[in-house]
């Protein structure tokens, strides 16, 4: 699905049990993408960590992560590859550096199968906790944690025109309506309206899959849309199939 960066962040104050001169702050999107591939490739998929190094000395570190579902327990744990932190006072790492799924451990076999099969995390509330260690196992920053929620919105349902409905010939620019997708205010979505002509012998699904769109618009932000006057006209005595999909912010 399409992806945009969430602008709202949750800032978590790190644990006080840190090595001298080291600190960290974890910034998580409150409603991140559920897709593991996004966490690995999209720098804005879940968030970032600011690491504060006031020791004046560079360090090679590992970040150990545990992600826990509120109901189902630990979903996975992971350890990053070696990360070189310079002597600069602040280093910001995005989520592509914070999570390593190639060697991730999934304690729950059922959850492991589900995540591997679907490529996404289950719905629900989560807590991610990270610990930064040097290469000798010394903990530099312990238990920097943040919460986030994975949501799968209900798909929209078409309202008007209804199935098998006929639009009067004098209405050249009908208004299409569907149920809104209910998501939290911070969760940005767009609707895509697609209209194709139904050819003889086709099912609606075949038409949507195979036919060139008569009209398509993927920048609709409300649950209704009036067919534009500058679009290809809808022809009288022809049959059309229409579809609405919701695209989230990622």
Quick: pLDDT tens for 33-71: 888 888 888 898 899 999 999 998 999 999 999 999 999
pLDDT tens per residue across span 204-223: 999 999 999 999 999 999 99
> What is the model's pTM?
0.65
Q: What is the C-alpha to C-alpha distance for residues 25 and 28, in angstroms, rounded to an integer?
A: 10
CA–CA distances in Å: residue 208 to residues 165, 179, 205 = 18, 20, 5
Q: DSSP letters of 237-249?
A: T--EEEEEEEE--
| Chain position carrying tokens 């840190």 | 18
Q: What is the C-alpha to C-alpha distance for residues 11 and 87, in angstroms, rounded to an integer?
A: 24
Residues of the chain with pLDDT under 50: 1-16, 250
CA–CA distances in Å: residue 42 to residues 46, 93, 104, 191, 221 = 9, 12, 18, 22, 23
Q: What is the C-alpha to C-alpha distance for residues 76 and 100, in angstroms, rounded to an integer?
A: 10
């Amino acid at each position: 699905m399409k992806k945009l960066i969430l602008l709202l962040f949750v800032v978590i104050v790190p644990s006080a049990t840190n090595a001298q001169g080291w600190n960290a702050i974890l910034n998580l999107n409150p409603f991140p993408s559920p897709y593991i591939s996004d966490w690995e490739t999209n720098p804005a998929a879940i968030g970032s960590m600011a690491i504060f190094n006031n020791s004046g000395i560079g360090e090679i570190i590992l970040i150990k992560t545990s992600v826990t579902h509120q109901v189902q327990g630990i979903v996975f744990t992971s350890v990053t590859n070696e990360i070189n932190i310079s002597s600069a006072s602040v280093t910001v790492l995005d989520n592509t550096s914070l999570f390593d799924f190639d060697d991730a451990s999934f304690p729950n076999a059922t959850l492991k199968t589900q995540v591997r099969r679907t490529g996404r995390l289950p719905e629900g509330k989560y807590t991610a906790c990270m610990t930064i260690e040097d290469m000798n196992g010394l903990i530099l920053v312990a238990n920097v944690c943040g919460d986030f929620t994975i949501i799968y919105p209900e798909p929209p349902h078409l309202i008007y025109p209804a199935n098998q409905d006929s639009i009067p010939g004098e209405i050249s620019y009908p208004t299409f309506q569907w149920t809104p997708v209910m998501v939290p205010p911070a969760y940005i979505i767009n609707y895509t309206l697609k209209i194709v002509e139904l050819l003889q012998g086709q099912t609606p699904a075949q038409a949507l899959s195979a036919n060139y769109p008569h009209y398509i618009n993927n920048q609709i932000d409300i649950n209704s849309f009036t067919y534009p006057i500058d679009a290809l006209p809808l022809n009288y005595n022809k049959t059309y199939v229409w579809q609405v999909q919701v695209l989230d912010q990622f």
